[in-house]
Amino acid sequence: MKIDGRFWLTKENQSFLGVGRIDLLEWIDKTGSINAAAKEMKMSYKAAWERINGINALADQPLIERTTGGKGGGGTKLTPYARELIATFHRFNELHRQFIDRFSEAGNDPERLARILSRTFLTTSARNQLPATLTSINENGLHSTLTLSLAGSDTLLSTITAKSVENMGLSVGCDVYAIIKSSDIKISTSASSNGDNSLSGIIEGIERSAENVEITFRLDGGTLLIALEKHDSLQNFQVGARAFALISPLHIIIGL
């Protein structure tokens, strides 16, 4: 006994984009014509045309551009908006599939079911959640040190327990998030000498309160960091100045 599921987009209570129509749009993109796409999907031209027309009637922005006549008789092209829609649909689909799969695994166990939902949408208080790619793993006793590649050429070291690496099934090439509390990032004019990550960039903004200072910091690679420091630790920074963001590898959590 397995679980299967589907989802679709609706507009004014009418379904207008499901997996079938997305398939059709993709074939149109590949072949350049409704006719050819219909043949690929082994449906009649009329059926394909009716689906496409239905989508177009409901969409608030045009999804396709149709031309008749001309060399080759004309054709149909997707708009950028349609391609965007297809991409997000696929991402939804992937997540939905994972969600359904987890149901199947959990079976009837109420505790596992509760855990599924609680971990399905985890929002953290960490202000920095940076997309990164895992480029190397060095195991060292109970610890493992990961090398992360951020946007641009910025790299980051993170030290987490070897068991976490195992639990999460991390391997080189994984897309992960580097999760860092803003209070664990120090801004300094000089690079680190004790093995902490030192990322060079430019101070983009400073916000002061009675005791603390919040600094918006743009890495050379383009990634944006938010650091929160105690007032007295501030070395008279100003907006636009070059500096380093210092982060201990021990304070970088990996999200998958």
Partner DNA sequence: ATACGTTATATTTTATAAGATATAACGTAA
Partner DNA sequence: TTACGTTATATCTTATAAAATATAACGTAT
Strands 128-140 and 143-149: antiparallel
Q: Which of 3, 6, 15, 47 binds DNA (CB under 7 A)?
A: 47
> Which among 5-13, 34-42, 45-53, 217-225 is the span making contact with a copy of itself, rule CB under 8 A?
5-13
What is the DSSP-derived secondary structure letter of residue 33? S
How far apart (Å, rounded) are the C-alpha atoms in residues 196 and 184? 11
Binding characters for DNA, 52-81, by CB under 7 A (x = yes): xx------------xxxxxxxxxxx-----
Per the listing, tokens 């999460």 go with 168
192: Cβ–Cβ under 8 A, 6 or more apart, which residues?
A: 198, 244, 246
**Interface region with a copy of itself, contact rule CB under 8 A, candidates 31-39, 47-55, 120-128, 195-203:** 120-128
> Which helix (H) or strand (E) segment is 28 a member of?
helix 19-31
Nearer to DNA, 69 or 110 (CB): 69
Using CB under 7 A, count the residues that bind DNA. 23
72 binds a copy of itself (CB under 8 A): no
Nearest to 160 by CA among 172, 184, 178, 133: 178
Question: By CB under 8 A, is residue 102 in contact with a copy of itself?
Answer: yes
Contact set with DNA (CB under 7 A): 33-36, 43-47, 49, 52-53, 66-76
